[in-house]
Amino acid sequence: MIAFKALVKAGVVAFCICSAAARGQAQPSGQWKLDSEGLAKVGTQVKVERFTSAAATQIKAAGFSFVRFGVWVNAMQTAAYQKRVGAAFAAAQEAGLPVLVTVRSTISLVLPSSNGSARNAQLRDAAKQLTSVIGGVVSAYGNNVLAIELWNEPELTTYWPTGNADTTFPIYMQAVCAGLKTLHKSIPVVGFGFATVPARGTQSDKLLESIRGSSAHCIDAVSYHAYGMNELQIQQASRYIRSRYGLPALITEWGISSGGKGGLTGQAAHINSFLMGRQSLNTPLISIYEWQDTVNGKNARERNFGLLDALGARKPAFGAAAIALRNQ
């Protein structure tokens, strides 16, 4: 995957600050409860490379209570990327926004020609790299980490470029969970950012079941993406996950694009309706995708999920979200 020694060496300076204080202020792992009014904690997704202090201030003023962004294990070996991650954490902390940190690799965890014991060894080595990066993030920024989210949409080849997930995911994640045992005492861990809710018989359910013994001691909640789901479906998902796995369900991505049939007004109406109805969703955390439009999306839909446009101007969806967040 990457040179692990180089990663550790490059990370020494970036992750040496305030480790004792960070661990001391880390939030307890059993924090996933609705607030006193039965409302979910609502945040929004940002991109590390575009997240600034000004954006953080806007997000906080709009009523969001956290931000979500990704940290890529294979990129953390470079000083430039470490600096970018550090700046994103600094911007969030300055605005009083905890960070839900999604940690994964963007490249394959094994060599294409590997199989059998060699492949399994590479998966376990990659797991050590991921847990090392998580340990560094928590050491440096733990006082502002809401939770660590393990991976993102592992049932999709795009986000799991490591071969057959049915066979590689369990070996890798069991090793990750083993490596997080000590760290998990100080920081909430959620998984695994599934593209589809783990309903009975789905691929995400099978992956979760495949590491059930490990995940029971590894994650505090199941995270999934709820695009296109209605209120009843979300309620059913929460009940199923709680019943089968004994864990709460968190929505770490939900959004609506202005690049579709409804346009700007349709996006705003859907966002307002969704957030105004969050009290009935039985979901303690929701992250809205996303803060700002993405210029390099593959189509109009993918480019226009933002509450702001690509230049930073507010779309009607921004006002709709702010009103919903203030009214409840």
- Mean pLDDT of successive 10-residue segments in the chain (328 residues)? 38 36 39 65 96 98 97 96 97 98 97 91 97 96 95 97 96 95 84 96 96 83 96 96 94 96 96 94 95 93 97 97 90
Is 310 in a helix, a strand, or coil? coil
Q: Residue 74 belongs to what H/E stretch?
A: none
Count CB-CB contacts under 10 A for residue 84. 15
Q: How far apart are CA 150 and CA 193, in angstroms?
A: 7
Q: What are phi and psi of 252, to 5 degrees?
A: -95, 0
pLDDT score, position 323: 97
Model pLDDT for residues 184-201, shown as the tens digit of each residue = 778 899 999 999 999 999
Closest CA to 33 of 273, 284, 251: 284
Q: How far apart are CA 310 and CA 247, in angstroms?
A: 37
pLDDT score, position 3: 40
Residues in the chain, how many?
328
Place of tokens 């393990």: 150
Q: What DSSP assignment string belongs to 32-59?
A: ----TTSPPEEEEE--GGG--HHHHHHH
Cis peptide before 155 (omega within 30 of 0): no
Q: How far apart are CA 194 and CA 16, in angstroms?
A: 32
Both ends of the chain: CA-CA distance in Å? Answer: 46
pLDDT score, position 29: 41
Model pLDDT for residues 207-222, shown as the tens digit of each residue = 999 998 877 778 999 9
pLDDT score, position 37: 59
135-to-70, 73, 262 alpha-carbon distances in Å: 15, 12, 43
Place of tokens 């994650």: 219
Domains and CATH numbers, the chain: 4-9+40-327 (3.20.20.80)
Q: Residue 157 belongs to what H/E stretch?
A: none
**Helix 116-141 with 79-95: angle, nearest 10 deg:** 40
pLDDT score, position 231: 95
Q: Residue 19 belongs to what H/E stretch?
A: helix 19-25
